[in-house]
């Protein structure tokens, strides 16, 4: 484990081709989706896995679901409370309805393919951002310590996360996305309920019906099904 880095994703890319985990006690320039800053107090988990996948980019991107399932497995193994955790499309892990963890995939291209993929993971083990720091309408951040009373170190969390991810990676490469899709849906937050999905220019409302074979969100809008490949979801 490194003491301090700018971001574990950036550090992981410097260690390409991998596979290798990079975990740091502190990030000085951590970031989330859409370039948002990611608060990085010591004691939380900041880790990135660097891979050099060979599939087409649309298959490579499905590893966000492998990462989410691995995070869920690690959290359940450490707490023994499967009912407390859920997965929010496309890349968050919830604890008691609040945001516990996020996933950020970044890649370096090679022609039309992906030369290197880095899967960045941040988990609020002991501290969560103040609700005033999150986007209006977003879920309230929570920490594992505050919600469960358990103080888990980043090293102990990695001991659960790394083998859990390896199992889902093997499933994805050996059996395809179908078993990951089924497992993800069984852990999905707000499945069958009304949600809002906001793209860069539009907001779509409907019933969260499923995810399709590409990982896209499928909304039922008055009997019409709409597949949305990328969006921010609000409950």
Q: Domain check: are 204 and 123 in the same one?
A: no
* CA–CA dist 125, 147 (Å, integer): 10
Q: Domain check: are 141 and 222 in the same one?
A: no
What CATH number is attached to the domain comprising 128? Answer: 3.30.930.10
In the prediction, which pLDDT does 37 show? 64
Q: Domain check: are 6 and 102 in the same one?
A: yes
Q: Domain check: are 114 and 64 in the same one?
A: yes
* CA–CA dist 119, 173 (Å, integer): 16
Q: Domain check: are 133 and 182 in the same one?
A: yes
Final residue belonging to a domain, choices 186, 207, 224: 186
What CATH number is attached to the domain comprising 204? Answer: 2.30.30
Q: Domain check: are 114 and 201 in the same one?
A: no
Final residue belonging to a domain, choices 168, 186, 204: 186
Q: Domain check: are 45 and 128 in the same one?
A: yes
Within 80-207, residue ranges assigned H as helices are 144-148, 154-175, 178-186
Q: Domain check: are 107 and 43 in the same one?
A: yes
Q: Domain check: are 53 and 154 in the same one?
A: yes
In the prediction, which pLDDT does 32 show? 62
The model's pLDDT over 5-59, given as tens digits with 9 standing for 90+, comes to 999 999 999 988 889 999 999 998 876 665 566 567 899 999 999 999 999 999 9
Where in the sequence is the domain holding 57, given as residue range(s)?
Answer: 2-186
Q: Domain check: are 127 and 226 in the same one?
A: no
What is the total count of domains within the chain? 2
Q: Domain check: are 163 and 209 in the same one?
A: no
Q: Domain check: are 116 and 215 in the same one?
A: no
Residue 51: alpha-carbon gap to chain centroid: 16
From the CB of residue 58, how many other CB atoms can be counted at a distance below 10 Å? 10
- Bond into 17 cis (ω within 30): yes
In the prediction, which pLDDT does 134 show? 73
In the prediction, which pLDDT does 201 show? 85
pLDDT < 50 positions in the chain: none
CA torsion, ordered 131, 135, 139, 142, to nearest 10 deg: -40
From the CB of residue 46, how many other CB atoms can be counted at a distance below 10 Å? 28
pTM of the model: 0.94
Final residue belonging to a domain, choices 146, 166, 186: 186
The model's pLDDT over 96-110, given as tens digits with 9 standing for 90+, comes to 999 999 999 999 987
């Amino acid at each position: 484990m490194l003491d301090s880095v700018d971001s574990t994703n950036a550090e992981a890319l410097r260690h390409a081709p991998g596979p290798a985990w990079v975990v740091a006690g502190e990030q000085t320039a951590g970031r989330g989706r859409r370039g948002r800053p990611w608060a990085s107090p010591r004691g939380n988990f900041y880790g990135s896995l660097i891979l050099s996948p060979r599939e087409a980019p649309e298959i490579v991107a499905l590893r966000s679901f492998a990462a989410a399932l691995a995070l869920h497995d690690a959290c359940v193994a450490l707490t023994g409370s499967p009912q407390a955790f859920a997965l929010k499309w496309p890349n968050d892990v919830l604890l008691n309805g609040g945001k516990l963890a996020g996933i950020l995939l970044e890649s370096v291209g090679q022609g039309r393919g992906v030369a290197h993929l880095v899967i960045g993971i941040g988990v609020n083990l002991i501290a969560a951002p103040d609700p005033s720091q999150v986007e209006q309408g977003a879920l309230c951040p929570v920490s594992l310590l505050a919600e469960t009373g358990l103080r888990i170190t980043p090293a102990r969390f990695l001991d659960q996360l790394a083998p859990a991810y390896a199992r889902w990676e093997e499933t994805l490469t050996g059996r395809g996305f179908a078993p990951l899709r089924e497992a993800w849906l069984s852990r999905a937050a707000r499945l069958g309920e009304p949600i809002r999905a906001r793209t860069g220019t539009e907001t779509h409302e409907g019933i969260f019906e499923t995810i399709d074979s590409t990982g896209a969100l499928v909304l039922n809008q008055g009997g019409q099904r709409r597949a949305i490949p990328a969006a921010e979801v609000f409950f």
